[in-house]
Chain A
Amino acid sequence: MEFEDILDQAGKKRDELIATELLVSSKATVRAYAVALTETISPEVREILKRQLSQALNQHARIADYMIEREMYHPFDLEKQIKKDKKKVKKARKIVSESAQPKKRSQKGKKRSVEDEAAADDVVPRLEGEASMADQGAAHESGRQPVESGSSRTE
């Protein structure tokens, strides 16, 4: 659900993301076919792969054309493309940190609260112990001679 919310926020950028994904996939597909073709022995398989490679190349061309047309991709303006890519990396980082943080925070928060509680538990008995010791000390002090109470404090 979180991911969908982010996609909705992205609005028009979502289509660009989809187109980029398609473009990257089509590149990978073309490479896979090229590699597969170099391992082919059977002429039948070779023919099929060649045909499919050609289809994959056409598909890549269609997507690249679409992206250039919509100014999602600037193959002739390297500076612009790099600037855009950097922006996207930044944005991706932001999205990831924003969607990951709440979970982490809640977990950390839980952990922290548990730790705090544990710490508090630790602290309270200590305080109580100290208080009781102090009380005892006070009792000692009140009941016994001051010298003994002083020695008990140093312990």
Chain B
Amino acid sequence: MAKKDKLDLDLGVHETLELHEVTTLRRSTLLKAHMMESIVEDPELRKLLRKEKQVSEKAIDEIEALLP
């Protein structure tokens, strides 16, 4: 928590906005991947979707920890 607060103080306005932008995009990608996973046929493509979901979720968590 203390680390989080400290990072918050370092964030610039434009920086914060861009981080928001990134999380928004990743969230929509994550949801799309999640929805598409239920209709995909090829197992290899499903693996790619799962990977996308994993990476997106982790990335969103990391950025969210930086944001106020």
Interface residues of chain A, those whose CB is within 8 Å of chain B, are: 4, 7, 12, 14-15, 18-19, 21-22, 25-26, 28-29, 32-33, 35-36, 39-42, 44-45, 48-49, 52, 55-56, 59, 62-63, 66, 70
Contacts and interface: CB of A to CB of B under 8 A. Distances in A.
Interface string B37-52: 0011110110011011
DSSP majority for the B interface?
helix
A19 B25 CA distance: 17
Contacts of B62: 48, 52
The 8 closest A-B pairs by CB, nearest first: A36-B18, A42-B10, A39-B18, A39-B14, A25-B29, A18-B36, A41-B12, A15-B42
A44 B66 CA distance: 9
A62 B19 contact: no
B7 A19 contact: no
Interface residues of B, number: 33
A22 B40 CA distance: 12
B13 to A, nearest CB: 9
A133 B43 CA distance: 78
Given A15-B45, A32-B21, A45-B7, A59 B15 contact: no
A136 to B, nearest CB: 70
B51 A25 contact: no
